[in-house]
Amino acid sequence: MNKSAVINASPLIIMSRGGFTDLLRCFADEITVPRPVADEISARGSDDITLRTVREKSWIHLDRTRVVIPEIIAAWGLGIGESSVLAYALAHPGAEAIIDDLQGRKCASNLNIPVRGTLGIVLSAKKRGVIPQARPVIEKLLMSGLYLSRYVIDTALKKVGE
């Protein structure tokens, strides 16, 4: 596969809480966590499930280099996490950005950065046969902090035959 992705805190936290970080492996050989996102996760404490998950998975890498946010991204007024994810993806062509924030996803689209959210990861995993059903995974992710309207969920599930 030899693909890379860069992830924001929210999808990583939600997937760690739900126990589904291995689904990320379906889309990339390596997942990068930019410094501001790593700092956000580390601030949650050493016992936090997300930090433990990141430390346990050899294919998730904390990138501690200083992030410079290009003006073209800064102009969107995003949070530092989303901005650093997009800056990384922009500097590493072909890297997919994993962001749930709608404005961040719009910015990625505007800059032709491949982007996917938590829901997209689950739906793709279902389409690829990695998971037998998407609905139970989505329901567990909702209990783990994912916010999506029932309309969005039902519409998305119809696309994968559920």
Q: What is the CATH number of the domain that holds 79?
A: 3.40.50.1010
Q: In what order do the strands lie in the sheet with 115-116?
A: 60-62, 30-33, 4-7, 96-98, 115-116
Both tokens assigned to 24: 């990320």
Tally of domains within the chain: 1
Place of tokens 């999506």: 148
- 88-147 residue pLDDT tens: 999 999 999 999 999 999 999 999 999 999 999 999 999 999 999 999 999 999 999 999
Instruction: Tell me what pLDDT residue 6 has.
Output: 97
- DSSP string over 91-132: HSTTPEEE---HHHHHHHHHTT--EE-HHHHHHHHHHTTSSS
pTM recorded for the entire structure? 0.93
Structural domain boundaries, residue 51: 4-159
